[in-house]
Amino acid sequence: MQRFLCICLLVCPLFFSGCLATIAKKRPDHIHLLESYQPLKTPLGQVYAQTLNQNPKQSLGFILQDGDRALLQRIALIRLATHNIDIQTYLYKNDISSRVMMSELYKAANRGVKVRLLIDDNGLDSDMSDIIMLNTHPNIDVKIFNPYRVRNKGLRYLEMMACYDRIKKRMHNKIFIVDNVALVIGGRNIADVYFDNDLEENFLDTDALFLGAVSLKAKQSFLEYWNFKGAIPANLLPSHRKLKKYAKTYAKSLSKLLLNDQSTYDKEVQAFIQKFINKRNKGYLGRAYFVADRPEKIYALNPKSPINHALQEILKHTTNSLYIASSYLIPGPALLKTFKQKLSEGLELSILTNSLASTDAIVVYGAWERYAKKLVKAGANVYETKSELSRYIKYTRKGGVHFKIKGRLKNSLHSKILIFDSQLTWIGSFNLDARSAQINTESVVVFDNPAFATYLQRRMQEQMRDSWHLILERHALHSKLIWEGVEDGQVVRHTNPPDTSPFLRFIKNWSKILPEDEL
């Protein structure tokens, strides 16, 4: 308490200078409820209405994988929308991919579609001019979740120190709902690096599209977050001075957003739409369960995680195999004990996570390293993603012109997928770490379909073959972890994390002093 008061006294002058202008403002209390129309009677729902009407408790699952195509598939869904689009995301960055998506959302709003965009403030990488511009449209509402009161990013560290217990808790959920019938869920946020559109680094991710009953469950969760007291309308956050500044540049900002040159992706989007309408995508029918944290988790002193509880229950009944692709993996003592017990009972456990060279979170890798050797020793098959892509051609924009660039790109795993007994598939935003279980809010879908699970399992196995395989080299008095892989057709072995410098390994080792339940 004393620490809090001291920091408040330090930042008190900022309140009167306008840096914390948001505190005096009050948000309108508009409670949004589930819409009354019938989702299966929308153009999007009618495509598979017969199948879904015959199986009202089941959903159709479709796998979305490649980053650039995942963006185009979202655009296709936006163009098919007739009622509403609801997007919940941790990270939003004002770059090419987001501007393409926002342009399509703006055009959808022009034809009467209601659009809601909920962004976590910690992941908002924008000066807010584009957010405010979108929010001025009568059919578009933007809210910021758990916002910093200090809008000056350089001064946010003061608020972090003063309100650490609140600030550290973030909305990590990622869902994309169209007309209450289509749900896209996975690990992707809204930024170039998630859609293979960044020239330096790209995240390998996997999404799934679900049609049917599970979409309404996701919508109900979205509305809980949207109506939550910690979700603040975007127009209440900037100061009056900044709002006036945005108003002066509104026309210019809008012209940048509304892309005139769509020829480069229009053809592919239309192809996606026709393929969907003509039912040429491989769909899988099964029970889909949406599991999400409540938004109150960010204020709870002892937060509960229904997702973590669901994971423990599923693990109890998993007997043959478990495949895991998790970008940030820190099992913790309890899950490690469960894994060891399952391995001793004959479970085949295969794990894919980031290597030190590929990760974007060195401190997380430092914590993961505590468990890697123990899991390998217990009999798990452990793999770490290599740091560079084997393909080198990228497309980008400059002055409205598209051209090719060749170069090596950093490759980072971002998937969060578990496959239990080649039957159940778990996909969403939940990482196997304490942050997902105890700190952030998350959401996942558990899908019961063996063909869907087997297909994703084969794709994961392909990724594992292209990754580093961690093995133990046993000596008389000790055993050492070895990274083994194939490069240029030859088997190579490393005694240290591959493609890393001594300095990077020093930072990784130093980071181990940090408590892993705060990473």
Q: Which residue has the higher pLDDT, 142 or 409?
A: 142
Model confidence band, residue 176 (pLDDT cutoffs 50, 70, 90): very high
Q: Which residue has the higher pLDDT, 29 or 269?
A: 269
Q: For position 389, what pLDDT does the model report?
A: 52
Q: Which residue has the higher pLDDT, 148 or 388?
A: 148
Determine the residue type at 428.
G
The neighbour count for residue 7, using CB atoms within 10 Å, is 16
pLDDT digits (tens, 9 = 90+) for 463-515: 999 999 999 988 767 789 999 999 888 899 999 999 999 999 999 999 989 98
Q: For position 21, what pLDDT does the model report?
A: 35
Q: Is residue 175 a contact partner of residue 185, using CB atoms and an 8 Å limit?
A: yes
Q: For position 405, what pLDDT does the model report?
A: 41
- Joined tokens for residue 72: 């185009």
Model confidence band, residue 263 (pLDDT cutoffs 50, 70, 90): low
Domains and their CATH numbers in the chain: 2-27+44-277 (3.30.870.10), 296-518 (3.30.870.10)
Question: Pairing between strand 410-413 and 201-204?
Answer: parallel
The mean pLDDT value for 33-57 works out to: 93
Mean pLDDT for all residues in the chain: 87
Q: For position 170, what pLDDT does the model report?
A: 95
DSSP state of 421: T
Q: What is the pTM of this model?
A: 0.89
Compute CA 402 distance to the chain's CA centroid, rounded to the nearest angstrom: 28
Residue with tokens 């869902």: 175
pLDDT digits (tens, 9 = 90+) for 410-427: 789 999 999 999 999 999
Report the distance separating Cα 26 and Cα 467, nearest Å.
Answer: 51
Question: Does 30 score more than 90 pLDDT?
Answer: no
Q: Is residue 289 a contact partner of residue 214, using CB atoms and an 8 Å limit?
A: yes
Close Cβ partners of 333 (under 8 Å, ≥ 6 residues apart): none
Q: For position 435, what pLDDT does the model report?
A: 94
The mean pLDDT value for 247-255 works out to: 74
Angle between helices 306-316 and 332-344 (to 10 degrees): 10
DSSP state of 51: H
Close Cβ partners of 149 (under 8 Å, ≥ 6 residues apart): 20, 22, 23, 159
Q: For position 397, what pLDDT does the model report?
A: 47
Question: Does 59 score more than 50 pLDDT?
Answer: yes
pLDDT digits (tens, 9 = 90+) for 359-405: 999 999 999 999 999 999 999 999 999 987 544 444 444 444 343 44
Q: DSSP letter string over 150-176?
A: ---GGGHHHHHHHTHHHHT--B---EE
Question: Does 65 score more than 50 pLDDT?
Answer: yes
Model confidence band, residue 248 (pLDDT cutoffs 50, 70, 90): confident
SS3 275: helix
Q: Exposure pattern of 289-320 as b/e (b: 16+ CB <10 Å)?
A: bbbbbbbebbeeeebebebbebbeebbeebee
Report the distance separating Cα 22 and Cα 237, nearest Å.
Answer: 5
Question: Pairing between strand 140-145 and 114-120?
Answer: parallel
Q: For position 23, what pLDDT does the model report?
A: 30
- Give the count of alpha carbons within 13 A of 279, CB side only: 11
The neighbour count for residue 68, using CB atoms within 10 Å, is 16
Question: Does 19 score more than 80 pLDDT?
Answer: no
